[in-house]
Structure formats: structure tokens, C-alpha cells
Structure 1
Amino acid sequence: MKYPCVPKNNIAQSITIPPCNLCEQLCRSLASGLGTDVTFRVDGKRIHAHKCVLAASSPVFKAMLFGPMKEKDKNLIQIKEIKAPIFKAMLNFIYTGKLSDTSSHGASCWMHQHLLVAADRFALERLRSTCEFLLCRDLDVDNVSTTLVLAQQYNCQQLKAACLKYIASHEILMLVMATDGFQHLISSCPWMLGEIIARTSAISSCVITVLVLSLCVVWIVVMHFTLL
């Protein structure tokens, strides 16, 4: 027996399917503490979360919470060498896939630099890539040196290339050399001066002299403390 077919594009199209709001529900649960089953002590503050959400997002959290080497007190875990605002921002990204906007450009750069370190520590590859993108986008004279050090330390090759490209002009390099961040660069990664010289176009002999002298000063200081 054949049944009459319901005409297409009639009733079905009038039914509205609401969007999935799982992330919003999880965020509300995180903010209210509903269902949280693990507490982290971070920078003197207690921060609550859900084990399953963290374990699904990070192999480090999975091992910490459910692996054979899990924390003895798995319901109260001490997290060292990370600031509470950074840890909270990392949790927010795990739950929502987004980073909250900060009030200023400088604060944004500081936040993204520290979040990149946290992402590397907890093996959050999407957060790491997001921070690398945002740091590339927001490079300026004041932050390029510290960002270059960070890129070198955490093997962020695209971020490193972006930093070197940014300073690869005589005018920008002269401005960068006058910042405190550049002093941090030559003391932390003195070998980077060679890469800067190699990639900088139309660099003057005067600038090369300053860079070489900076490298010599760093070498003398290092040798001095080595021989003490």
C-alpha cells in the first residue's frame, strides 16, 4: 500500500532548529561551579573545573587527573609558575574555544605571551596556534624583541619568522634597539643577532657595529660570571 507523500518545502521548512549552545552551558556551569569536581590552587587562589572537560582537551590534564601518575590529592591540585588570570583565561579557552578581549594592546600582548607558555605546558595545540597568530598580528616596536625570545624558546617557527621580518628594515631595527626588550633579547639569545643581521636589508655599517659590540658585551659578562 502506498501512502501519499508530504509535499517538500512545506512543514519541514517551517521548523526552526536552535543552534547548539553546549559551550554556553559549560561556561555557565564553570562560572557557577555547578558539577565541578576538581579544584586547582593557582597563585594563592582556588579555581574550580570539570575533570572530563579538561581531560578531553589536554593529554597533560588527562594524565594528571586520570592517568597512572595522577595527583595524590586529585580533587585539589597545586599549579605552580602560572598566574591565576592566565590559568582562568586558559580554562575559558578550553570551554569556549575563544579568548576574551583585554583592555589594552599592551595587556593583550602580555596575556597572549603567557598563554602561549601555558598552552605549551598543557599541550593545548589550538590555544598555542591562536596565541601565535595573535602575537604575529599585534607585533610592534615595543614587544617584538620579547616575542622573538619567546618564539625561539618554544620553537614557534612562524612567529619567529614574523618577528625577524618585522625588524628587517633599518628604520624599525634602530627603534627596536632602543627598547628594554632588545636588551633582554641580546642577553637571553645573543646568537639571534646573527639572524637579525642576515635578514635585515640595507643595514648600515654603524648598526652592524652596534650589534657586534652588544654581542661582545654579552660574551664578556657571561665569561666573567663563568670564571667566578
Structure 2
Amino acid sequence: MTEDGRPLDGRRSTGGRRVSSGSQWQCHLATPGERLAYLRHSGHLSDLTITFPGHHDIIQVHRWVLAISSPVFEAMLYGPLAEGDLLHLPEDPPEAFNWLLDHIYLNHSQLPGVQLALQVYQLAAKYQMDPLCKLCSQYLVQEVTASTFPGVYETALMLEDDQLLAKCAQLTTNWKRQL
């Protein structure tokens, strides 16, 4: 096994299937979703490296996948200011960005917790990914608690999320009644 979990023969497991990193890998994967999952996990055919200055994370991605997911990525990667095959994202949290990539490539929609959801929500707003913003907002409306309230409220204010602000106001009113 290599350090990244691949067998020494260069094959990689994707969705329970063993896929060769060599030629004809597409033939072994039945659906576009399986092929995108393979590309996400293998980095095969990637043409963009993303770094997070101040962190050790380096991610190989496909600029066209990002561009079809966000008008901001399209402008950053194909617009007049596009630069090379290296993208530095010093303000983006790597864990949240990785979740965002899993959403883009693999259609993941299960948010693992409020703190990560807050970070993903802010990234989704930054990159103008409106359906993901809605998903995060709905999740946070359901999951906000007294301990997560300050971060949720701050994000709701920053992103002008009326639904989330209404939920925060409702919780505040309920807490005042309990006092």
C-alpha cells in the first residue's frame, strides 16, 4: 500500500470497484457520478492545485468542475484574471473546502455539524452557490442550540439570512420566557 491508501499496483477502489489508474478507467465505471468520484479521489486529469497558505493541505482538482458549479470559480479560473495552475485560498478553511468539493463532485449533502456547516455556508455564499446556501441555512435552522447560537446568529447577520434570523429571534424569545 502507498501512503494514500492505494495498492502498489496503482489501482484504486471507487464505490466498491477496483479501478486502474491507467488507460480505459472510464470503461470500469458505469455512471457519470462514479467517474466524478474517481476523479475527485484520484486527482486523475486534474489541472489545478489549490493550496491554503498557513495550512499543509494541497488539493488537486479540475477547474471545469469548479467552473460549472460557481460563477465565481468560472471567473477566477477562466476569466481575464485567471492565473496558471495554482490557486491560493488563504481565507478558506481547508476542511470546509474539502466538504464543498465533496458536494460538488459527489453530491454530498449531509452536513456533519453546525461548526462545519457555518464555514461551508460562508464558502457557498462567497462562491455564489445558492442551492448550497439554502441547504446550509435549512440545516442551521434545525440544528441551532444555545451553545451554537452566537456563531449561527453572526453568520445569519453577515449573510442576511432572514429565515435563520427569524429562528434566532424565536429562540431568544423562548429563552427570555424561561428566565
Q: TM-score range by the shorter chain?
A: 0.7 to 0.9
1:141 counterpart letter in structure 2:
A
Q: Kindly state the Cα deviation for residue 99 of structure 1 after the two structures are TM-superposed.
A: 3.1
- Decide whether the 8 Å contact of 1:89 with 1:99 is kept in 2: no
- Decide whether the 8 Å contact of 1:92 with 1:98 is kept in 2: yes
**CA distance 1:28–1:100, shift in 2 (3 Å):** farther
Residues matched between the structures, number: 148
Percent identical across equivalent pairs?
25
Structure whose CA Rg is larger:
1
Q: Kindly state the Cα deviation for residue 168 of structure 1 after the two structures are TM-superposed.
A: 1.5
The answer for the alignment partner of 2:43 in structure 1 is 33
The answer for the alignment partner of 1:126 in structure 2 is 131
- Return the alpha-carbon distance in structure 1 between the equivalents of residues 160 and 106 of structure 2: 26
The answer for the alignment partner of 2:59 in structure 1 is 47
- Return the alpha-carbon distance in structure 2 between the equivalents of residues 132 and 100 of structure 1: 13
* Candidates 158, 163, 171, aligned match of 2:168: 163
Bigger relative CO (Cα 8 Å, ≥ 6 apart): 2
Q: Kindly state the Cα deviation for residue 26 of structure 1 after the two structures are TM-superposed.
A: 0.3
* Candidates 97, 106, 123, aligned match of 2:107: 97
- Return the alpha-carbon distance in structure 1 between the equivalents of residues 166 and 111 of structure 2: 25
- Return the alpha-carbon distance in structure 1 between the equivalents of residues 107 and 173 of structure 2: 34
- Decide whether the 8 Å contact of 1:89 with 1:100 is kept in 2: no
SS in 1 for 2:50: strand
Higher normalized helix content (fraction of residues): 1
- Return the alpha-carbon distance in structure 2 between the equivalents of residues 36 and 30 of structure 1: 9
- Return the alpha-carbon distance in structure 2 between the equivalents of residues 21 and 161 of structure 1: 41
* CA deviation vs aligned residue, 1:149-190 (integer Å, no higher than 9, x gap): 110011111111111112222xx24xxxxxxxxxxxxxxxxx
* CA deviation vs aligned residue, 1:195-218 (integer Å, no higher than 9, x gap): xxxxxxx69xxx7xxxxxxxxxxx
SS in 2 for 1:158: helix
SS in 2 for 1:47: strand
Matches within 5 A, 1:65-76: 65-71=77-83, 74-76=84-86
The answer for the alignment partner of 1:199 in structure 2 is none
Q: Which sections of structure 2, spanning at least 5 residues, go unmatched?
A: 1-29
- Return the alpha-carbon distance in structure 2 between the equivalents of residues 126 and 23 of structure 1: 19
- Return the alpha-carbon distance in structure 1 between the equivalents of residues 111 and 166 of structure 2: 25
Higher normalized strand content (fraction of residues): 2
The answer for the alignment partner of 2:19 in structure 1 is none
* Candidates 62, 69, 75, aligned match of 1:57: 69
Q: Kindly state the Cα deviation for residue 101 of structure 1 after the two structures are TM-superposed.
A: 5.1
Q: Kindly state the Cα deviation for residue 21 of structure 1 after the two structures are TM-superposed.
A: 3.0
Q: Kindly state the Cα deviation for residue 129 of structure 1 after the two structures are TM-superposed.
A: 0.9
2:76 counterpart letter in structure 1:
M
1:95 counterpart letter in structure 2:
Y
- Decide whether the 8 Å contact of 2:111 with 2:117 is kept in 1: no
Q: Does 1:21 align with 2:26?
A: no
Q: Kindly state the Cα deviation for residue 100 of structure 1 after the two structures are TM-superposed.
A: 4.5
- Return the alpha-carbon distance in structure 2 between the equivalents of residues 88 and 80 of structure 1: 14
- Return the alpha-carbon distance in structure 2 between the equivalents of residues 126 and 97 of structure 1: 12
